Amino acid sequence: MLSIAPMRCDFGPSTSLDADHHDLAGMTATGPTAWSGDAMQATGNLKILFIAGFGPIVRETAESRKLYSEVLGIPFKEESGEYLHTEALKGAKTFALWPLSQAAQSCFGKDSWPDNIPVPQAWLEFDVDSVEKATAELESRGYRMLIKNKKEPWGQTVSRFISPEGLLVGITFTPLLRERK
């Protein structure tokens, strides 16, 4: 059974780690970001183009593989370290079962998640026009980045933070998922 460290409910301005999490909803001065055709309307330096990926962060890979692959019939490709992913599901560019040790490696450079940061239950990535500008915008609004503008070996640039709901949220530029014009 998965457990997550309890999170504080007060998300107001503060210097403590738990209070540095803010809700992404309503990030504009005039209310929630508006939908306008193929992309979300830009807010400051943030313009979400699409959901680059989503999936649970798993502790017991075998049990999760059984549910998603065998029971639900999702066809996965397997990469090293039991990272299972598919680009065959509609609705997100990628759905993947991401082992917690790999998420920790990506964010902190080690295989274990730090005890002082709530363990995420899922990951969600939004591809944006500019990771650097989006990261600066999020930081200016009080969000604490776990990593900033990191270039991954497969070409993706990413900044990550923990959302109030306990998701590991990535703001990304993912060349492999971009449609060629």
CATH of the domain at 65: 3.10.180.10
pLDDT, tens digit (0-9, with 9 covering 90-100), for 119-137: 999 999 999 899 999 999 8
Residue 99 DSSP one-character state = E
How high does pLDDT run on average in the chain? Answer: 77
Do the domain assignments include residue 11?
no
Do the domain assignments include residue 14?
no
What is the pTM assigned to this prediction?
0.66
pLDDT, tens digit (0-9, with 9 covering 90-100), for 79-117: 988 899 999 888 888 999 999 999 999 999 999 999 999
Residue 114 belongs to what domain range?
Answer: 39-177
Q: What is the pLDDT of residue 27?
A: 30
Cα separation, 122 vs 117, whole angstroms? 14
Do the domain assignments include residue 26?
no
For residues 146 and 161, is the Cβ–Cβ distance under 8 A?
A: yes
Cα separation, 3 vs 89, whole angstroms? 28
pLDDT, tens digit (0-9, with 9 covering 90-100), for 2-48: 222 222 222 222 223 333 333 333 332 223 333 344 555 666 778 88
Q: What is the pLDDT of residue 18?
A: 32
